[in-house]
Structure 1
Amino acid sequence: MSGGIFLPEEILIQILLKLPVKSLVRFRCVSKSWDSLITHPSFVSLHLSHAMAGHDRSVVLLRHYSLTQRKERNTLYLDGESFLEHQELEFPLKTHDTYYLAGSCNGLLCFSDYIINNLQVILWNPSLRKCVQLPIPRFIDTDLTHTYVLGFGFDTRRVDYKVVRLIYILGKNWSVIVPPEVEVYELKTNAWRGIQTAVPYVIPESSSQAFVNGAIHWIGYNPADKVAPSPRSIVVLFNMQEEVFGEMELPKGGDYANRLNLSLAVHQDLICLLHCHPMEEDGHQLYGVCWVWVMKEYGTADSWTKLFTINISEHGGIGRILGFRKKGDALLVTHNDELVSYDLRGQRISRLGLYGVARSFEVIPYMDCLVLV
């Protein structure tokens, strides 16, 4: 532009890296060169690294089916001293199908529907208000009864997002047959491919996942591990770079026979185990006490450390533990489908005024990112 100020590209990049996604999307209209720079994979990667370095986790995305409004809500909350509603987002797909969160990583969310034989998987970038619907997976045409497990994460070597899918055939009495078929989706190629790898593990369909240290982690078991009355529970992991499976031990001395009482999360960038003790209340499955463990040295079973004990049995029990807030408190769903904040040190409950179907609640760290731009 005549009379304008010329900025070397290196300086321009350093300026743009500090801007939020909303501004960068607008600035794509400045010129073709700006559009090319902002949408270039190297800038997208740099912007993500810059966002992660300064990310204070002060914003979270809360998904739930509101009992008061009778609809599903996707809402951003400011997670400071209080928990304040900031902005409601529209879910990108307007269908009658119900989508559940399969995983989240670096501001990108992976969802799947509940239809087993017509599987739909989408990646959603809430900061861009954009989604990508993945191609139909390869192994869906079997006539045999089957179930599947999804995992989502980031491959730092290939600088690419991946979805891994395990397909288990069900035998007599609904027994799970191993090994499963395994396929991997890569965002860069927008295609699924089968991988040949030995997978002796069974991962229950209901198992939560945690993406830590370049690997996806689930609660599972090895059916060949003959320990009465059932195989012992372990952490099953899938390394995104090497595309191989492995296992890690759970903390010693615990009763992990019922895998429905176990879930995984991320706490301060460490893999976290939530081990809950059930209580019966009006026929509903609730938890009176939950123990929070973290693995302080990744891959070392002896480094599991019990951080907290959550006990709200006197308040009616816990329906679910959703995650942890910026200041360290836990977000819980109580016996009456209410979302509350629990002070782990003071062991006090703060009511947030939010009610919903317990299983519909998801709390997801929100991060500005340009992925899918």
Structure 2
Amino acid sequence: MLSRHLHLPEGVVTEILSTLPVKSLMRFKSVSKAWYALIGDPYFITKHHTFAISDHNRNQYRRVILERCRATTAPRFSMHSNDTLEFSGNIHLVPQLFSEDINPVHFIGLCNGIFCLVGIAPERFYGAPEPDRAREIVLWNPATRESKRLPFVPRPPGFCPSFIDFGFGIDLNSNDFKVVKIMYFDSPRHYQVEVYNLTTDSWRVIDASLNSAYFMKWPHFPSYLNGFYYWLICPERREGGHRLLLSFDMSNEMFREIMLPDDTSSLVEHIAIINDSLVVIVGILAFDIWVMNESIVESSWTKLFTIELPTLPLQFLDDGLIVLSGHHCDPDKKCLVLFDPITRELKNLPIYDDGSEMFQLVSYKESLVLVNGWRNVLEQQDTS
């Protein structure tokens, strides 16, 4: 019994441990068999996750991952704090999670502390009997270091889509993680959509009925929110017409088109998630940020603020600050900068580059959520 070790009621011990960081809990699993069982218990994992995502703990459990990518070398990854991007340590995703020829790695989405990553091996596209193997898909919890590489799908000869996009999230009805793969074919022009379920560890084709005239823009930011994943779509020919948002409901597995703000749709370049709301980023030399106010009937949009700098944001932080990349600190070097849209203040961050690297920055909340078995965790919560 836990009380025999600590002279405290087990309920009190559970309350105390559920407020601790994941890193500490992973160490404490070796204290005793009782603590090992408690920290891996579905009820405890849910309790810890609920505490971590509560409003007053948003920054305590928030971490940032930075990817530095060059065309000729393997991508490099590092962990940072949320507020100042203080360096915490390097992460070796290649070759620990991916094959050694993978470059780059894309962060497709994140949900409940779990990342969906897609690694691309360009050389496998040419002359390979199964082009689908040029992309490796991995689910990964950076806090617990648990990961899972998704299975490949056997393909018939000549199966070669000209474009592939992805989405990732959780089905809020079944509590199952899902990965969406959207493939476009030129001849004949059509989309094929496949969905992966973590509980079955398998892929299946769904009847999506996507308009083959639309072109999907590869997302710059992971865009999952509250059971939906979002993409920006536009006519294949950009001269005229308007852009739309496309949402995918992880529960009913249906797509829906959403109108963009009036008089801005032709200038919308990206979508993102800010403070648990969906936003669109409008402009080229300066950026207007619009937030979607969704009701049961329709969606409306409200302008939040303007970034009067010719630099696309890398990351929107929970405290309202924005991470930018550019030559704001040194004309000969590219660096990361923290921007306050209210005060317009710029603060240089200690991350520099000579200009040959591409940065990708993603923030997440640490959790004990399992890559395998999360459905059982939530079901335990529902019946407790």
Taking the aligned partners of 1:337 and 1:299, their CA distance within structure 2 comes to: 44
Structure 2 counterpart of 1:275: 282
Match of 1:206 among 201, 206, 218: 218
Taking the aligned partners of 1:236 and 1:73, their CA distance within structure 2 comes to: 32
Structure 2 counterpart of 1:55: 57
Question: What is the letter of the counterpart of residue 194 of structure 1?
Answer: V
**CA 1:294 to 1:107, structure 2 compared with 1: closer, same or farther past 3 Å?**
same
2:126 corresponds to 1:126: no
Provide the secondary structure at the position in 2 that maps to 1:26: helix
Structure 1 counterpart of 2:107: 101
Taking the aligned partners of 2:277 and 2:156, their CA distance within structure 1 comes to: 35
Equivalent residues of 2:82, 2:363 under 8 A apart? no
Structure 1 counterpart of 2:302: 305
Taking the aligned partners of 2:10 and 2:174, their CA distance within structure 1 comes to: 25
**CA 1:310 to 1:31, structure 2 compared with 1: closer, same or farther past 3 Å?**
same
Once the two structures are TM-superposed, the CA of residue 235 in structure 1 deviates from its matched residue by: 0.5
Once the two structures are TM-superposed, the CA of residue 132 in structure 1 deviates from its matched residue by: 1.2
Once the two structures are TM-superposed, the CA of residue 151 in structure 1 deviates from its matched residue by: 0.3
Once the two structures are TM-superposed, the CA of residue 162 in structure 1 deviates from its matched residue by: 1.3
Once the two structures are TM-superposed, the CA of residue 158 in structure 1 deviates from its matched residue by: 1.8
**CA 1:140 to 1:272, structure 2 compared with 1: closer, same or farther past 3 Å?**
farther
Question: What is the letter of the counterpart of residue 82 of structure 2?
Answer: D
Between the two proteins, the alignment pairs up a number of residues equal to 344
Provide the secondary structure at the position in 1 that maps to 2:286: strand
Provide the secondary structure at the position in 2 that maps to 1:346: coil
Provide the secondary structure at the position in 1 that maps to 2:25: helix
**CA 1:361 to 1:105, structure 2 compared with 1: closer, same or farther past 3 Å?**
farther
Once the two structures are TM-superposed, the CA of residue 189 in structure 1 deviates from its matched residue by: 2.2
> 1:179-328 maps to which residues of 2 (within 5 A)?
180-200=191-211, 202-204=214-216, 206-208=218-220, 209-221=222-234, 229-256=239-266, 262-277=269-284, 288-297=285-294, 303-312=300-309, 317-318=310-311, 320-328=312-320
Equivalent residues of 1:185, 1:191 under 8 A apart? yes
Once the two structures are TM-superposed, the CA of residue 199 in structure 1 deviates from its matched residue by: 2.2
Tell me the percent identity: 28
**CA 1:40 to 1:5, structure 2 compared with 1: closer, same or farther past 3 Å?**
closer
Once the two structures are TM-superposed, the CA of residue 112 in structure 1 deviates from its matched residue by: 0.8
Superposed CA offset, 1:146-171 (max 9, x none): 32110011222222221111111124
Structure 1 counterpart of 2:378: none
Question: What is the letter of the counterpart of residue 367 of structure 2?
Answer: C
Once the two structures are TM-superposed, the CA of residue 34 in structure 1 deviates from its matched residue by: 4.3
**CA 1:42 to 1:85, structure 2 compared with 1: closer, same or farther past 3 Å?**
same
Taking the aligned partners of 1:197 and 1:145, their CA distance within structure 2 comes to: 16
Match of 1:89 among 84, 88, 91: 91
**CA 1:19 to 1:40, structure 2 compared with 1: closer, same or farther past 3 Å?**
same
**CA 1:228 to 1:165, structure 2 compared with 1: closer, same or farther past 3 Å?**
closer
Once the two structures are TM-superposed, the CA of residue 62 in structure 1 deviates from its matched residue by: 3.2
* TM-score of the two chains, using structure 1 as the length reference: 0.80
**CA 1:46 to 1:28, structure 2 compared with 1: closer, same or farther past 3 Å?**
same
Structure 1 counterpart of 2:128: none
Structure 2 unmatched ranges of 5 or more: 126-130, 328-332, 372-384
Provide the secondary structure at the position in 2 that maps to 1:256: helix
Once the two structures are TM-superposed, the CA of residue 4 in structure 1 deviates from its matched residue by: 4.8
Question: What is the letter of the counterpart of residue 129 of structure 1?
Answer: R
**CA 1:300 to 1:84, structure 2 compared with 1: closer, same or farther past 3 Å?**
farther
Taking the aligned partners of 2:356 and 2:255, their CA distance within structure 1 comes to: 32
* Higher mean displacement: 33-42 or 154-163: 33-42
**CA 1:71 to 1:95, structure 2 compared with 1: closer, same or farther past 3 Å?**
closer
**CA 1:138 to 1:245, structure 2 compared with 1: closer, same or farther past 3 Å?**
farther
CA RMSD of aligned residues (A): 3.2
Once the two structures are TM-superposed, the CA of residue 365 in structure 1 deviates from its matched residue by: 1.7
